[in-house]
Every structure is written in C-alpha cells, then in structure tokens.
Amino acid sequence: MRFVHVTVPAGKRREVERVLVDHDVDYSVTDEVGTAAARPDGREYEAVMTFPLPVEAVEPVLASFREIGLDEESHVVVQNVQTVVSDRFGELQREYDEHTPDERIAHEEIRIVAKDLMPDRYTYVLLVVVSAIVATAGMLLDSASIVVGSMVIAPLVGPALAASVGTVLADEALFRKGATYQVAGFALAVVSATLFAVVVRHLFLVPPNLNVTAIEQISGRLSPDLLALVVALGSGAAGARSLTGDISTPLVGVMVAAALVPPVGAVGIGIAWGHPTIVFRAGLLVLVNAFSINLTALAMLWVSGYRGHGGRERRRSIADVQNRTVILVVSILVLASILGAFTYSAYQAGSSTETIRATVEGVVNDERYANLTLTEVTVEYGDEPFSRHPERVVTTVTTPGGRTYPGLDDAIERRLRQESGIEAQTAVRFIPVETTGATVTPAGTATEAPTETASPTATASAPPPTAAATAPPSTTTQAPTATAQPPTATRAENTTSALRRFQPEPGSHRR
C-alpha cells in the first residue's frame, strides 16, 4: 500500500480531483494559505491532496497526472505504508486485485528503488573486497559455510538491476552507473582474491604441496556446463521480480552473488597458483553468469511493461533495449557454445568411467581372482578442456593373506583395449587382509565364516614387482563375500617351527 501527497498548482485543482474521482480514489484536501508573492520561489499552489492507493494503482494514477501536465508543475510524494483502515480503500484494493493480478510498482518507484540498491562508492569497494577475500579463504579451507557468508555481503545485485532499469526507462545516467559498478566490481574482486591467495601461498598459511584442484569448493567451479546458464538466468529473473513486485531484494541478492562470487574467488586462486585451466574455466563461469543475469533482468522488466515516458523517451528505451539485448544474446550464445562443449566432455567422461568400471569388474570376477574383492575403481583424466580421455585407471582390491596377482593390471589393460578401445595405464592396489576365526574340517572346508582384518596400508602392485609389503593389521574388520580357504600354516605354527630349528640338541651347549 502507498500513501500519496500531491501539491496542486494554481488552476489544476479541478483536473486533479477529476482524475482521482475517475480512479475511485478517496482523498482529502488541505488548502494552501497565502499567495505566490509571499513564497520565496514565487510558485503558487492551491492545495495539498493526500490519498491511499494500492500498489497496482500508483502507476495508472501517476500516468493520468502526467497527462494533465501535473508532473512538471508539482511535487508527488509516494510513501510506503503498512495498514489503511477504510472500507472504501478495501473495495478499491479488491477491485485492483481482480483486474490486475500482477502487483508491480510504478515507474518512478522502481527508478528510486534501483538507485537505493546501489551503495555509495566507499561502501561498494569495501564490500566487494571483503566478500572476495572471504570467498577465497572459504574455498581454500573447503568450507561451504564461509563461502555462503561471502555471498551474503556481496553488493552485486544492485548494479545489475540498476543497469537494466536504466535501459528500459531510457535513463542513461542510471545505466552507465550500474554498468560501471559491475565492471569495476568484478575487476576489483579478482584483484583482491588474487592478492589474498598470493599472500596465503607465500606465507605458508596452507600446505606448500596443496593441490588446489582437489579442493571440492574449487573443483566444483572447474566443470562449467549448461546448467550454470540455467542458474544465472534464474538469478536474473528472481532479481528483477523482487524489484517490480516489492519483494525483499537483498534475499534474492544472495542468489545472484552465489552465481558470481565463488567463481571470482576461484579465478584469483588460479592466478596465484599458476593454473591457467582454473582461470579459464572459472572466468568463463563469471562471464556467462554476469551476462545472463543482466539479460534476464532486462527481459523481465520489459515484459512487465516498463518503458520510458513520452514518445521520445519511449522510442529511445525501445532502441536501447533492442541494441543491448542483441549484444547480450550474442555474448551468451558464444559462451554457451563453450559450455556445451564442456557438457559434452563431462558426458564423455561419465560414459567412459562407467565402461571402465564394468570392464574392471568383469576381470576381477574371473575365477583366477576368486579371492579378490573389488573395492574401488579410480579413473584419472587428462587436462584437455573439451575432449577428456582416460589416462590412468587405478583398481583397489582386498586380498586375503596379502597375496598379490602381478598379472592383474596387464589383464585389465588388455581387456580395456580389446573390448572398449581405451588406451590407458593401469595399476592395481592390493589391500592385505587376514582371515581369523575359521575352523577347518578334515575336508578342508571352513565351517565358520572367517573374519577379514584389513591392513590400514594399501600395497600397490605394478609390473615387474611380485611381492607385496604387508603392514600391521588394524582393528577394522570386514566380512568377505566368498568363503576364504584356510591358510596352509597358521602364524603360531610357523613360530613354533622356527623355535624348534634354533633349539640346541640334547647334550650340546651354545657358546
């Protein structure tokens, strides 16, 4: 709800009253005391009219005021109010609810709201720097909560919406300010993130051998695909709707920042660690998100009916919207083609991983390796940006008693080449387990399911070594899927035999 104050110039009172009556508005009038000669500015006003309006009614009433020339000769003040107790106002509210289900604020209001969303220069710079540093720290710490905190304080939604509002209302000054704030903000954020990451790395605030690509908060920004475009488009639409629908814009600003702040931090980390792949992929994500947010916000405002006032401003706003829409669409299409290549590459990698996993399972399930239990298959891919091929396959299996199978890696590599045409290096990690608690019958069959004790240290087997090093067993136990054959000699028997070999013969003595 809104409460409107209108100063009525001399000779305009009847026209203003006619407009309010035509819109079924209940109003009150306060007559002006004195003459124009008594005022310092020499202006003459007859009265001040005040009246409540539904949000949807503000724009039609102000448009009618502009038609009678009131906007150039008077002051119109629109206030936001919480409650209006009036039967007539309730009827007016219900009438507008029935005929205009889309609640949107007036042109004058949206212009002011967009300006208010942009903080002053000092505050904007401070919040951009702090949010970039916090996001970078959160990514290096692999802390999602810290990264979310950086999104909350990022002041990025205001400039994006201000640029879109300035375009549809033909307000060139507002558009230039919003666009300048965006470009300067992104550049400042990247510089801040880079400097902070450089300091962290050279002051050894993180381990010197830290692999930043293995950090989950960073690796999640290294595989941009077309779904990232959907997130950015949704952020822009939500931001524009929050502006036109009188909804809390700061809440939507968190979603906008979620599409922009973490990738900016990843760019800074990539520069500091000298990883051009991180810089390219995270930078691509920043650009496509920024363009998509601006495009969607612009489209939402235009579809909502916001235009410039008057014939000249309206023609100018139409031309501006068309030109800037073409620029944004072309930019997004170019970037989307790259995202599409990344998406196809991710699909290829996923398909290859499933094929490799199925092939490895087929080899391990062979009768020759009946005692082995497959626990994990890891596929390592190259750094090709658009066509990723598997370079190394690491298979992890558990083996009773620490026995190794030197030919298993060759068998896997050969099967991958023959059945799937995949050329990749293969390696097998054997995790020794010991079977305990099995009672062996004379027939040599275990009557009780043995318990396998896994060694905490995995033993890697790669040709040509044939022996495996067994670490002391841990307390973690695993039940094997198949009944293990009892060992030919227990550890106690081996120890007894060894003592017997070193025991002196009767009648002899040791020196």
pLDDT score of 14 more than 60: yes
User: What's the pLDDT tens digit per position in 30-40?
Assistant: 887 655 445 55
Burial class (CB in 10 A: 0-12, 13-18, 19+), 286: buried
Predicted local distance difference test score (pLDDT) of residue 481 = 39
Q: 211 and 118, same structural domain?
A: yes
pLDDT score of 446 more than 90: no
Predicted local distance difference test score (pLDDT) of residue 462 = 40
Residue 475 lies in a domain: yes
Torsion, Cα of 162, 164, 168, 169 (10° steps) = 10
Choose one of 282, 313, 345: the last residue of a domain. Answer: 345
Q: 274 and 252, same structural domain?
A: yes
Q: 400 and 338, same structural domain?
A: no
Residue 351 lies in a domain: no
Task: Give the Cα separation of 263 and 281 in Å (integer).
Answer: 9
Q: 166 and 40, same structural domain?
A: no
Residue 355 lies in a domain: no
Task: Give the Cα separation of 265 and 212 in Å (integer).
Answer: 12
Predicted local distance difference test score (pLDDT) of residue 453 = 42
Which H/E stretch holds residue 394? strand 390-400
Segment among 185-189, 207-211, 318-322 with least mean pLDDT: 207-211
What's the token pair of residue 217? 């908060």
Q: 198 and 225, same structural domain?
A: yes
Choose one of 69, 103, 137: the last residue of a domain. Answer: 103
User: What's the pLDDT tens digit per position in 369-411?
Assistant: 888 889 999 988 876 666 678 889 999 999 887 788 888 889 9
Predicted local distance difference test score (pLDDT) of residue 500 = 37
More confident residue, 90 or 443: 90
Domain region containing 86 = 2-103
Residue 144 lies in a domain: yes
- Phi-psi bin for 504: left (phi > 0), alpha (psi -120 to 50), beta? beta
Q: How many domains does the chain have?
A: 3
Instruction: Specify the residue for token string 């399911």.
Output: 449
The CATH number for 82's domain is: 3.30.70.120
Mean pLDDT of 319-332: 93
For 85, 151, 152, 255, 482, the CA distances from 250, given in Å and listed in that order, are 30, 11, 8, 9, 59
Give residue 273's pLDDT band: very low, low, confident or very high (50, 70, 90).
very high
Which among 497, 452, 499, 458 is positioned nearest to 476, based on CA atoms? Answer: 452
Instruction: Specify the residue for token string 């083609």.
Output: 337
Q: 437 and 314, same structural domain?
A: no
Q: 118 and 98, same structural domain?
A: no
